Structure 1
């Protein structure tokens, strides 16, 4: 006996066009018609699990469905990210740019480690790396670095007349210190931490960049890297050009 067929059954292509033109035609209906049998079975299982997760409380959800949901939620958590902690902090005289954003020069972990080694070797916990930008070099600007000894206590701003000449800390200087993310923030300014100091104009040209310590064949040195204002730099890395 031949199988029964509808005499006026529409062709599959015609049915697809009719359903795709209907705005209310859900994807599940199209999938049930167009997907192969094996893929259709997987699609139906996934649809039932999604329906259970949105309409059935977790306490009443079957154990296998709960297990599937927990697994998918765990996989989603693997891709979540958290904001990185800030290891560089302003120790003295924070300054803002024209947009009101704080200007920061970040100290990398390598640079902080090297500064700590120098302070320990010299038995001087108040050593700091002073960074100063001057005009010159093959690219228009160059930065100079030297180690200086800071006073045991920070001065009060504004500085008294004549105090800036006697102290290593000037009125427009800003000091940044570094302590690891897992260390608690000191309750009061700690001048024994790895630190850098620079004046206002230099900070304006180096804001957003990093102080790093590199070890190369030509020697080891502190270096300014990732300067967002620099358009080019020389091979030695001490001279750079900026956006105007």
Structure 2
């Protein structure tokens, strides 16, 4: 051939039969190989890093308030004083309040346990006018004894000699004037023992001794 190139007859026939398929120059093939090598570098998934950081931030934002709230509740529980069923709850005189000789108001308290018992009885009888009457009379094995009864104030209202005390949840205690002078500052409790359950007066000022039944006591009078 005029070009001086030695081409075999088979290649010459193939070139003549499909002239569009020309061999790529060596330089183009090299460039193609170089680009393929460049794109086959290891793929680093850097786009995952922001998502992971955001997940950690969301978890921290959610967990931190819960931890703070739990810690605050724990500190509040530990700081708050523990309550007991026998803790006295002051009552207010709503009828015929009386005062001592020094001008201090006379008061009695009702324990949590006694208040709950009175509420239960009133709810069972469906009678919001139910009141616990406490009175003291001479007698018993130690000079004085206190008596208790449940009065329906709608049928047996308090008189001018009675002082009516009322608790926060509507519990009522009625004490006559002479008994209140001895019971001023005491607490009405409710005890549950093997021999039975009963209302009981504790913390009577000036009481020096009492009998086993708890209803009879000695008192030091000024």
- Interval containing the TM-score (normalised by the shorter chain): 0.5 to 0.7
Partner of 2:117: 114
Q: Which has the higher contact order (CA 8 A, sep 6+)?
A: 1
Matched, 1:242 2:203: no
Partner of 2:188: 211
Report if the CA contact (8 A) 2:96-2:162 is conserved. Answer: yes
Partner of 2:158: 169
Report if the CA contact (8 A) 1:150-1:169 is conserved. Answer: yes
Q: How many residues align?
A: 139
Matched, 1:128 2:128: no
Measure, in 1, the Cα distance between the counterparts of 2:191 and 2:89: 21
Structure 2 counterparts to residues 8-47 of structure 1, below 5 A: none
Deviation for aligned residue 1:125:
0.9
Matched, 1:99 2:102: yes
String of CA shifts for 1:141-192, please: whole Å, max 9, x gaps: 01110000113xxxxxxxxxxxxxx853111110111116xxxxxxxxxxxx
Measure, in 1, the Cα distance between the counterparts of 2:165 and 2:97: 9
Structure 1: stretches of 5+ with no match in the other structure: 1-77, 152-165, 181-192
Give the strand-richer structure, 1 or 2.
Answer: 2
Report if the CA contact (8 A) 1:207-1:227 is conserved. Answer: yes
Deviation for aligned residue 1:87:
3.9
Q: Name the CA shift for 1:199/1:120 in 2 (closer, same or farther; >3 Å).
A: same
Partner of 1:227: 204
Measure, in 1, the Cα distance between the counterparts of 2:158 and 2:131: 11
Measure, in 1, the Cα distance between the counterparts of 2:139 and 2:131: 24
Deviation for aligned residue 1:140:
0.4
String of CA shifts for 1:25-47, please: whole Å, max 9, x gaps: xxxxxxxxxxxxxxxxxxxxxxx
Report if the CA contact (8 A) 1:206-1:229 is conserved. Answer: no
Structure 2 counterparts to residues 47-196 of structure 1, below 5 A: 87-151=90-154, 167-179=156-168, 193-196=170-173
Structure 2: stretches of 5+ with no match in the other structure: 1-77, 82-86
